[in-house]
Chains A and B, each alone.
Chain A
Amino acid sequence: MTNIVIFLILLSLGYIFGRYAEKRHFASIKKREEQFAALPAIMLKKPLNQSEITDSHIVYGNAVISIDYFKKFIASLINLFGGSISSYESLVDRARREAILRMKESAGEASEIINIRIETSSISKSAQSNIGAVEVLAYGTAIYRE
């Protein structure tokens, strides 16, 4: 009985705080994406324009985002039947966009960031503790012009 009560408490905590955290995070991501819209992050290997380049160096940003209890539960349910797990999709989406934004923030006065690579790894394979989190690293070469 107590187990069920604890489970329900965890589930509702996860639902309330998880949703709130995600909403707030998405709002802040959208705001900052608009702010950095002038700084293009592109996959091309060469700069758009070879002239007037004064400096270029690597920049990167990373983010580790954790799953909440409610999402974990939903995912384990969907695991039984198969199908797309939208709660995980939004988690990875948040991590990627956050990592790209941090990379842009660290680039300072750059005119563009080229050759972007995005790498994802999960931090969950610990022996005792079952931590579900995803790490995203975004990196590229920042190009500075006069």
Chain B
Amino acid sequence: MLITNIETVPGKNIVEHFGIVSGSSVRAKNVGRDIAAGIKNIFGGELKGYTELLSESREEATSRMIAQAESLGANAILNVRFSTSSVAAGAAELYVYGTAVRID
């Protein structure tokens, strides 16, 4: 599966469009990470636990999007966008969407 965030695939032609595909993942931070983050809030610096958490859930959202595209018979997803929103206190939704196409 080829994923890009530009509108074409360089050197390839688009044969067929399948429309929008998307994947999302809602994650809550766990208590341990919250405590560690609370301590880090005094000293400053990077919150490694959160960085990992968010990148893991983004990967999960991406793999859901890929599964949807595969079920349509696509072999590439173009013009992919990421978006983040907080749905509830302590939880974040990571949403990824793009256009599924078949290239030759």
In the complex, chain A residues 17-67 whose Cβ is within 8 Å of any chain B Cβ: 17-18, 21-22, 25, 45-47, 50, 53, 56-58, 60, 62-67
Q: Shortest beta-carbon distance, B38 to chain A, in Å? A: 6
Given contacts A126-B89, A127-B90, whether A121 and B46 have CB atoms under 8 Å apart is: no
B40 and A66 within 8 A (CB): yes
The residue in chain B whose Cβ has the minimal distance to the Cβ of A50 is: B10
In the complex, chain B residues 65-92 whose Cβ is within 8 Å of any chain A Cβ: 80-86, 89-90, 92
B54 and A62 within 8 A (CB): yes
Option from A47, A64, A69 in Cβ contact (under 8 Å) with B50: A64
Given contacts A45-B7, A129-B34, A133-B50, whether A66 and B41 have CB atoms under 8 Å apart is: yes
B37 and A66 within 8 A (CB): yes
Instruction: Please name all residues of chain B whose beta carbon is closer than 8 Å to the beta carbon of A13 when the two chains form the complex.
Output: 42-43
A137 and B82 within 8 A (CB): yes
Instruction: Please name all residues of chain B whose beta carbon is closer than 8 Å to the beta carbon of A64 when the two chains form the complex.
Output: 46-48, 50-51, 54
Please tell me the size bucket of the interface on B: 35 or more
Option from A56, A58, A125, A132 in Cβ contact (under 8 Å) with B41: A132
In the complex, chain A residues 88-139 whose Cβ is within 8 Å of any chain B Cβ: 98, 114-115, 117, 119, 121, 123, 125-127, 129-133, 135, 137, 139
A14 to B42, CA, bound (A): 5
**CB within 8 Å of A: which residues of B?**
2-7, 9-11, 29, 34, 37-38, 40-48, 50-51, 54-55, 58, 80-86, 89-90, 92
